[in-house]
Amino acid sequence: MKIVLLYGGQSAEHDISIISAFNISQEIMLDVYSVLPVYITRKGVWLKGPLMEKPLEDASQLKFEQAFVESWAEQPGDISTGVVINPGDIKDKDTVVFPVLHGPNGEDGTVQGLLEVLNLPYVGAGVTASATGMDKIISKQLFDKAGLPQVPYIAFVKREWLEDQEALIQKIEGSLLYPLFVKPANMGSSVGISRVESSEDLKEAIQTALKFDRRIVIEQGITAYECEVAILGNEDPHASVVGMLVKDSDFYDYDEKYINNTVKMQIPAELDPSVSLTIQDYALKAYQAIDGSGLSRADFFVTANNDVYINELNTMPGFTPYSMYPCLWNETGLSTRDLIEELIQLALKRYEMRQALKNQ
């Protein structure tokens, strides 16, 4: 069976996707599967690499040179680096796609829709769950309906901001208390997110968030620990042990999380056992609320009084060696190698179930 490892992409999380794909390529059973790397450049060009016969030595081997892409039409030259393909060219018999893509145009249901049209089995959530999990506003509404506690928030669209900024500021400050967190509705990894303490900072933060999305969510900040739990499964999902982010600041941006790597993980989290059980229960309810399948990572806030609030659900969490998702399962007793195999089998089971429904 062939595994198409799809990675890169046009989102701000492009580089994290490459590292995740490299980690997966190190752990996947190359004696069982033939693995085909397909790299999506920042400009949206799809490049097919050679079949992997052995683990790669470095993540840079997965990042085909953009200069090669741009000169391809004029100078075909050496094709060993990669071949430009159309997205539909990945369709083949006995193929499972592993879309290791984070953020817009990858994790938001767009690529999942393409794979549905191509009628290919793929790892992870379907179109609806991917789009819902990526959209902070819609997921919050579903969490509300499922009865899951959340911090107070306000959502709005760019049109409302342009029509009357002062009125919107008054509405926000009349409903929420500083500090506030301003977020684009459809970004991940803290991209475009700001922590603000005043009206002046709020305006600037909204302008920053609007560079990434036309829909914005603003959450009231609370003093709390940030805890995360991994979910695995389709119809009968399971939750891992709970982990905690140990940090020195109230907010860590993209650079601190992924480049400087200053956020440390405490696995398992040093919490009251009843709080960990609550987090796991809420995580599974949130997963089912968005109709999740395959995998997700659920993020929570836990206060000193042991109040638990769900923050968000990530349907294609990072898969780097230091990402919380694989580390949580390692601590739970499932190695990364076995985790990848389970995800492939879950993809096949979900595909077979959908095919059976189509053929009724």
Domains, the chain, ranges and CATH? Answer: 2-122 (3.40.50.20), 152-220 (3.30.1490.20), 223-352 (3.30.470.20)
Separation CA 226–CA 246 (nearest Å)? 8
Read off the pLDDT band of 331 (50, 70, 90).
Answer: very high
Give the model's pLDDT for residue 253. 55
pLDDT in tens, 243-285: 999 976 555 555 555 555 667 899 999 999 999 999 999 999 9
Give the model's pLDDT for residue 359. 80
What distance, in Å, lies between the first and last C-alpha atoms of the chain?
Answer: 26
Say whether pLDDT at 210 is over 70.
yes
Give the model's pLDDT for residue 67. 39
Say whether pLDDT at 72 is over 70.
no
Tokens of 251: 């907010």
261 is in an annotated binding site: no
How many CB atoms are located within 10 Å of the residue 112 CB? 25
299 is in an annotated binding site: yes
Q: Sheet of 194-196: strands edge to edge?
A: 153-157, 215-220, 180-184, 194-196
Highest mean pLDDT among 8-22, 199-213, 339-353: 339-353
Give the model's pLDDT for residue 59. 84
Lowest mean pLDDT among 220-224, 239-243, 338-342: 220-224
225 is in an annotated binding site: yes
Say whether pLDDT at 77 is over 80.
no
Say whether pLDDT at 207 is over 50.
yes
182 is in an annotated binding site: yes
226 is in an annotated binding site: yes
Contact call for residues 229 and 242 (beta carbons, < 8 A) = yes
219 is in an annotated binding site: yes
Mean pLDDT of the chain: 89
| DSSP H helical ranges for 290-335 | 324-332
By annotation, the residues acting in catalysis are: 13, 189, 323
130 is in an annotated binding site: no
How many CB atoms are located within 10 Å of the residue 86 CB? 7
Give the model's pLDDT for residue 262. 66
Say whether pLDDT at 173 is over 60.
yes
pLDDT in tens, 97-134: 999 998 888 889 999 999 999 999 999 999 999 999 99
| DSSP H helical ranges for the chain | 14-27, 66-71, 110-117, 127-134, 136-145, 158-163, 165-175, 199-210, 254, 273-289, 324-332, 336-358
